[in-house]
Amino acid sequence: ESPIDDLIRPAYFTPETKRISELFTEMRDKNYRMAVVVDEFGGTAGIVSLSRLVEEIVGPVGDELTEAEKEYEAINEYTFQIDGGMRIE
């Protein structure tokens, strides 16, 4: 079995103030799939994936949602089961 060192890539850090389109271009050009987002104090604000940036720019792509990713499910004509984390706009 290979050591984990063979799999490690340097983390890609980006400020949370960076525009989505700019971050997408940088990540695509540098072949990064994930970025660590840092706040104004240098602390970790979170992570963002390249696929999430694509969704934010162009919207959901295709009908590729798995059961776990669906936010709601029609039980019958009058009943829906809705994920409690579903965003309402």
CATH superfamily entry for domain 4-61: CBS-domain (3.10.580.10)
Can you give the pLDDT at residue 7? 82
Q: Is 40 helix (H, G, I), strand (E, B) or coil?
A: coil
Q: Which distant-in-sequence residues (6+ apart) come within 8 Å of 16 by Cβ?
A: 37, 38, 39, 40, 45
Can you give the pLDDT at residue 72? 76
Nearest to 53 by CA among 86, 8, 14: 14
The reply to whether the predicted model has a pTM over 0.85 is no
The low-confidence residues of the chain, meaning pLDDT below 50, are none
Can you give the pLDDT at residue 24? 93
The Cα 29–Cα 44 span in angstroms is: 23
